[in-house]
């Protein structure tokens, strides 16, 4: 391929990219976005969270879970003016519930080598969570809910560091 042909292809690619960006901005589409609207549904509403006991990160109590991850998620919910609704179950049950649309977030002692990568969106790993003992703790969100994932990661970056 000649130099002029490569330049032409590069120019065409740049033009297509710019045109798509303009079209998307004109349509009111924001990036990142949530196809199912998780962030907007949670904001001012309810954050449905699943946890599995993993002391000291998550401890199961009679009325509601406790622990450092629970406190962190409660603070995230407060930042969205949302109430937290807790479900305690096994990770497998929680992932199935999230796939069925019954949970917005799964939190606990889940590490960055989680087996759920193909079934959930995963945050960056955070070692600054009390009780993490140097492990990179991640949280799971519904696949494709990128605005929600971005909001959660911005919050975790400030509160737990990386």
- The b/e string for 114-127 (b: 16+ C-beta within 10 A; e otherwise) is bebeebbbbbbbbe
How high is the pLDDT of residue 162? 63
Token duo for residue 16: 């297509």
What residue segments make up the domains of the chain, in order of their start?
Answer: 1-31, 38-160
Q: How confident is the model at residue 5 (pLDDT cuts 50, 70, 90)?
A: very low
Q: According to the model, what pLDDT value does residue 86 have?
A: 97
- Give the Cβ contact number of residue 132 at 10 Å: 19
DSSP 120: S
pLDDT of residue 158: 95
Q: Tell me the per-residue pLDDT of 101-115, one tens digit each, with 9 for 90 and over.
A: 999 999 999 999 999
Q: In the predicted model, what is the mean pLDDT of residues 58-77? A: 94
How much is the pLDDT for 36? 77
Q: Which two tokens stand for residue 93?
A: 């049950």
Given a cut of 50, is residue 14 above it in pLDDT? no
HSE-CB of 145 using CA atoms within 13 angstroms: 27
Q: Which residues contact 57 (CB under 8 A, 6 or more apart)?
A: 67, 68, 69, 108, 109, 129, 131, 132, 137
Whole-angstrom Cα distance, residue 121 to residue 146? 8
pLDDT at 74: 98
Homologous superfamily assigned to 38-160: Periplasmic binding protein-like II (3.40.190.10)
Pick the residue with more confidence: 154 or 23? 154
């Amino acid at each position: 391929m000649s130099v002029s042909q490569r330049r032409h292809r590069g120019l065409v690619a740049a033009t297509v990219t710019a045109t798509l960006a303009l079209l998307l901005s004109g349509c009111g589409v924001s990036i990142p976005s949530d196809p199912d609207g998780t962030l907007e549904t949670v904001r001012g509403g309810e954050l449905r969270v699943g946890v599995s006991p993993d002391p000291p990160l998550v401890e199961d109590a009679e009325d509601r879970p406790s622990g450092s991850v629970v406190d962190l998620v409660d603070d995230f919910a407060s930042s969205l003016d949302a109430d937290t609704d807790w479900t305690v179950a096994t990770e497998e049950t929680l992932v199935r519930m999230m796939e069925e649309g019954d949970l917005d977030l799964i939190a606990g002692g889940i590490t960055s080598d989680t087996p759920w990568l193909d079934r959930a969106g995963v945050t960056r790993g955070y070692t600054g969570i009390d009780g993490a003992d140097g492990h990179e703790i991640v949280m799971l969100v519904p696949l494709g809910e990128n605005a929600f994932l971005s909001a959660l990661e911005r919050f975790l970056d400030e509160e737990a560091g990386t």
